[in-house]
């Protein structure tokens, strides 16, 4: 199986073989980041453009580091200092950037579907770095790589995804990925933060953190996305934390070798206690490291090698 797509827009449209091919490529490229000279010439002469219409630390930095480690030139559109603030549309901005002949454009945008909108209109490839509450495919891929490293497999696992499911593009991408690869996903959160259609995606739904983590191989905690909430979905953060904050006592209900994940940024003391976030079961910083490897793999496959 090869990866022959112009764009990476979501996990929903990927075949399991394509996902595994990206992970295998990432695993083979990971070693480059451990070298004294962390650079190979693979993408010399290629240009990678990032457009982040929402804040980002991990995704934006790791795309840039990934591109630089492969010797590509990188350009970041600083949206707040761009002509977007003068009213230029997303489509016009993208066409103008494309006129400068980048090889790939990476976009994060608050509107679900914005990367798909551009992918239909641009000749260059488009990677979705998170669109609204829809998908965050590169996050799911780095999560899969982290799970596979810890567990040695991606099938037959019980994965609990806990928190603000309603607003989480990370949850949606991971649900698609994990169910395609044969793992069982249980989601948990307050009823107000679990969309009614979720069971149609092939997951189990519970409103109890304890039930979700019982027997889990993997616990993935999600951030409460207050910035996407026009109304309150629970009474207070303290109440939320009481019922859905992961503490050391919850880990006793899970498998002995459970791993704890979080895509970041974390609200320490709200959805996850510092003791868990920094504890022996946490693989949160491994996720970040794997973000570089997965993004190197995607740039290599889409810009360098196997594109049609
Ligand atoms: N996980 C993630 O998308 O983090 P950033 O928002 O910092 O990119």
Summarised one tens digit per residue, pLDDT across range 131-178 is 999 999 999 999 999 999 999 999 999 999 999 999 999 999 999 999
Would residue 58 show up in a list of annotated catalytic residues for this protein?
A: yes
Q: How far, in Å, is the centroid of ligand 1 from the Cα of 39?
A: 24
Alpha carbon nearest to ligand 1 atom 4, residue: 58
Domains 16-135+288-307 and 137-284 share a fold: yes
Q: CATH top-level class for 16-135+288-307?
A: alpha beta
Would residue 59 show up in a list of annotated catalytic residues for this protein?
A: yes
**Cβ distance 48 to 104 under 8 Å?**
yes
The pTM assigned to this predicted structure is 0.96
Which of the four pLDDT bands, split at 50, 70 and 90, describes residue 305?
low
- Rounded distance, CA 278 to CA 248, Å? 11
Convert the pLDDT of each residue in 85-102 to its tens digit.
999 999 999 999 999 999
* CA dist 308 → 295, 303, 304 (Å): 19, 10, 11
pLDDT, greater one: 71 or 225: 71
Does the beta carbon of 59 sit less than 6 angstroms from any atom of ligand 1? yes
Q: Which residues contact 225 (CB under 8 A, 6 or more apart)?
A: 164, 167, 168
Q: Where are the domains of the chain?
A: 16-135+288-307, 137-284
Does the beta carbon of 263 sit less than 6 angstroms from any atom of ligand 1? yes
Q: Topology of domain 137-284, per CATH?
A: Rossmann fold (3.40.50)
**Cβ distance 9 to 135 under 8 Å?**
yes
Alpha carbon nearest to ligand 1 atom 5, residue: 56
CA atoms within 13 A on the CB side of 57: 5
- Return the percentage of the chain with pLDDT > 90, whole number: 91
Does the beta carbon of 290 sit less than 6 angstroms from any atom of ligand 1? no
């Amino acid at each position: 199986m090869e990866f022959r797509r112009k764009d990476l827009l979501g996990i929903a449209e990927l075949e399991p073989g394509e996902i595994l091919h990206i992970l295998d490529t990432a695993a083979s490229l990971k070693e480059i980041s451990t070298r004294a000279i962390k650079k190979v010439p693979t993408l010399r002469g290629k240009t990678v453009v990032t457009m982040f219409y929402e804040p980002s630390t991990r995704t934006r930095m790791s795309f840039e580091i990934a591109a630089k480690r492969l010797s590509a030139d990188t350009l970041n559109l600083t949206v707040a200092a761009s002509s977007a603030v003068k009213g230029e549309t997303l489509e016009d901005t993208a066409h103008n950037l494309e006129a400068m002949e980048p090889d790939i454009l990476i976009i994060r945008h608050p509107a679900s579907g914005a990367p798909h909108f551009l992918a239909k209109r641009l000749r260059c490839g488009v990677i979705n770095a998170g669109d609204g509450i829809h998908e965050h495919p590169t996050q799911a891929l780095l999560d899969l790589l982290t799970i596979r490293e810890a567990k040695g497999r991606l099938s037959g696992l019980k994965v609990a995804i806990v928190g603000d499911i309603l607003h989480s593009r990370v949850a949606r991408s991971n649900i698609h990925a994990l169910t395609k690869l044969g793992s069982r996903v249980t989601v948990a959160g307050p009823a107000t933060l679990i969309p009614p259609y979720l069971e149609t995606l092939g997951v189990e739904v519970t409103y109890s953190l304890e039930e979700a983590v019982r027997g889990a191989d993997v616990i993935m905690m999600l951030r409460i996305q207050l910035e996407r909430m026009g109304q309150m979905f629970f009474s207070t953060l303290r109440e939320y934390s009481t019922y859905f904050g992961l503490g050391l006592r919850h880990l006793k209900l899970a498998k002995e070798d459970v791993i704890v994940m979080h895509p970041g940024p974390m609200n320490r003391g709200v959805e996850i206690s510092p003791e868990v976030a920094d504890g022996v079961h946490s693989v949160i910083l491994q996720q970040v490291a794997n973000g570089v490897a997965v993004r190197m793999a995607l740039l290599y496959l889409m810009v360098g090698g196997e594109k049609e």
